[in-house]
Amino acid sequence: MKWFLAFYINDLPEGAGFRLYGPGHLSFLLIIALGAAAVCLAYKRAKPENQPRFCRVVAGSCFALELGKQILMLVTLPAYPITQLPLHLCGLGIFVQTADAFIPRLNKTTREILFSLSMPGAAAALIFPDWPEYPILNFYSSQSFVIHGLLLCYPLMLLAGRQLRPDWRNLWRPAFFLSLVSIPMHFVNKRLGTNFLFISESSPASPLELLETRIGSRGYLFGYAALILLVWLVMYAPFIVRDLRNKIFQRGNRYS
């Protein structure tokens, strides 16, 4: 707890961080998995009129945690670390999630983005965190685990409550969103020397690092795009199979 409010890496002693897949990391993953299961079950059992309030509580908590971190850094640090701007995919997911909970007319777009981008992004961040230099009980470290857990939990509870029906025909929406934010982010990264969305280089100790090592920096973005398409194929395959099965079943009933 001595280093709970340490945000600068230089303020931490050598070896203060947590070990990937060590007891602390695995404990957080287990807690998040159990918490997500409990939230999904509670959401599924909630009355339909109470489910929108449930969404607002989860999304609002995620937004409040990020806002609290930003305020705390502004107040306590002599210089704000520009890399902590919420411009990574998960940071943008906080805003999409908040819009989904508080502006229902956007649900068709926001929910497809949350399922296809925020959920796999949050899962990857939890499995391959890019903050192991911080102690496991450091505020930044703990808050990062919780926020990514909430980003993972939100679309899962919508799936459990059948308010989210992934449709591959709507994939143009997250694809357009990703293109819309990636282009200006490329210039932001060049201007500020940042790596938002991990489009300048890979994230350490992640599949993106292996990808960049194998195909080189020149082909990295093409490999990154191919990886996203592969993830989408795996995620949407069960729903495509379900739709095909339903169509075959309906045709069978029609001609029987």
pLDDT band at 55 (very low <50, low <70, confident <90, very high): very high
Q: Looking at residue 254, what is its pLDDT?
A: 64
pLDDT band at 27 (very low <50, low <70, confident <90, very high): very high
**Annotated domain spans of the chain:** 9-255
Between the alpha carbon of residue 52 and those of residues 43, 46, 100, 245, the distances in Å are: 10, 10, 10, 31
Q: Looking at residue 59, what is its pLDDT?
A: 97
SS3 136: coil
For residues 195 and 206, is the Cβ–Cβ distance under 8 A? no
Candidate ranges 52-61, 216-225, 242-251; pick with highest mean pLDDT: 52-61
For residues 12 and 6, is the Cβ–Cβ distance under 8 A? yes
C-alpha–C-alpha distance, residues 61 and 59, integer Å: 5
pLDDT band at 252 (very low <50, low <70, confident <90, very high): low
Q: Is the pLDDT of residue 117 over 70?
A: yes
Q: Looking at residue 9, what is its pLDDT?
A: 72
Between the alpha carbon of residue 225 and those of residues 166, 179, 211, 222, 241, the distances in Å are: 20, 11, 11, 5, 24
Q: Is 179 exposed, middle or buried (0-12, 13-18, 19+ CB in 10 A)?
A: exposed
Average pLDDT along the chain: 91
C-alpha–C-alpha distance, residues 204 and 152, integer Å: 21
Q: pLDDT tens digits for 118-153?
A: 999 999 999 999 899 899 988 889 999 999 999 999
Annotate 203-245 with DSSP letters as a single string: PTTSHHHHHHHHHTTTTHHHHHHHHHHHHHHHHHHHHHHHHHH
Q: pLDDT tens digits for 62-87?
A: 999 999 999 988 888 788 889 889 99
What's the pTM?
0.92
pLDDT band at 11 (very low <50, low <70, confident <90, very high): confident
Q: pLDDT tens digits for 173-191?
A: 999 999 999 999 999 999 9
C-alpha–C-alpha distance, residues 119 and 76, integer Å: 31
Q: Looking at residue 113, what is its pLDDT?
A: 97
Pick the residue with more confidence: 245 or 224? Answer: 224
The mean pLDDT of 48-58, rounded to a whole number, is: 95
Q: Is the pLDDT of residue 58 over 90?
A: yes
Residues 6 or more apart from 108 whose CB is under 8 A from it? 170, 173
The mean pLDDT of 48-70, rounded to a whole number, is: 95
Pick the residue with more confidence: 53 or 252? Answer: 53
C-alpha–C-alpha distance, residues 44 and 61, integer Å: 19
pLDDT band at 226 (very low <50, low <70, confident <90, very high): very high
For residues 150 and 62, is the Cβ–Cβ distance under 8 A? yes
Q: Looking at residue 255, what is its pLDDT?
A: 58
Q: Looking at residue 142, what is its pLDDT?
A: 92
